Amino acid sequence: MSRSILRTVAIPLVAVVLGLLIGAVLILSQNASPSTAYTALLVGGLGDADAVLRTLQKATPLIFGGLAVAFAFKAGMFNIGGQGQLLIGAVFAAGVGFGIDGLPMVIHLPLALLAGAIAGAIWGGLAGTLKATTGAHEVIVTIMLNFVAGNLTDWLSANPWKDNSGNNIVARTPLVEDSATIPTLGAVPVGFLLAVAAAATCWLVLERTTYGFEVRSVGHNRNAARYSGIKVGWIMGSTMAVAGMLAALGGAVESLGVDGRFEAGVNVGLGFEGITIALLARANPLGVIPAALLVGLMEAGASRMQFKAGVAPELIDVIQALILFFVAAPIIIRWLLRMRQDTSEQLQLGAGWGKS
Count of positions on this chain that bind another protein (CB under 8 A): 70
**Shortest Å distance, C-beta 233 to another protein:** 12
Q: Does 320 bind another protein (CB under 8 A)?
A: yes
Options 31, 164, 165, 210; binder of another protein; rule CB under 8 A: 210
Q: Which is nearer to another protein, 52 or 351 (CB)?
A: 351
Q: What is the DSSP letter of 180?
A: G
Q: Interacting stretch for another protein, rule CB under 8 A, among 1-9, 59-67, 216-224, 291-299?
A: 216-224
Measure the CA dihedral 149/155/156/160, to 10°: -160
Q: How many CB atoms lie within 10 A of CB 236?
A: 26
Q: Which is nearer to another protein, 201 or 228 (CB)?
A: 228
Measure the CA dihedral 112/139/280/10, to 10°: 150
Burial of 277 (0-12, 13-18, 19+ CB in 10 A): buried
Distance in angstroms (rounded) separating the CA atoms of residues 194 and 192: 5
Q: Does 324 bind another protein (CB under 8 A)?
A: yes
Element (H, E) at 10: helix 2-29
Q: Which is nearer to another protein, 6 or 140 (CB)?
A: 140
CA 297 to the chain's CA centroid = 15
Q: Are 119 and 194 in contact (CB under 8 A)?
A: no
Options 321, 336, 337, 342; binder of another protein; rule CB under 8 A: 321
Options 35, 220, 265, 336; binder of another protein; rule CB under 8 A: 220
Distance in angstroms (rounded) separating the CA atoms of residues 292 and 323: 13
CA 323 to the chain's CA centroid = 16
Binding mask 74-103 vs another protein (x if CB under 8 A, - otherwise)? ----x-x-----------------------
Q: Does 275 bind another protein (CB under 8 A)?
A: yes
Enumerate residues 25-44 that contact another protein by CB under 8 A.
26
**Shortest Å distance, C-beta 327 to another protein:** 9
Measure the CA dihedral 121/316/293/280, to 10°: 70
Options 86, 96, 145, 182; binder of another protein; rule CB under 8 A: 145
CA 313 to the chain's CA centroid = 19
Residues in contact with another protein by the rule CB under 8 A: 26, 78, 80, 130, 134-137, 139-141, 143-148, 151-152, 154-155, 158-159, 208-211, 213, 216-217, 220-221, 223-229, 269, 272, 275-276, 279, 312, 314-315, 317-322, 324-325, 328-329, 331-332, 344, 346-355
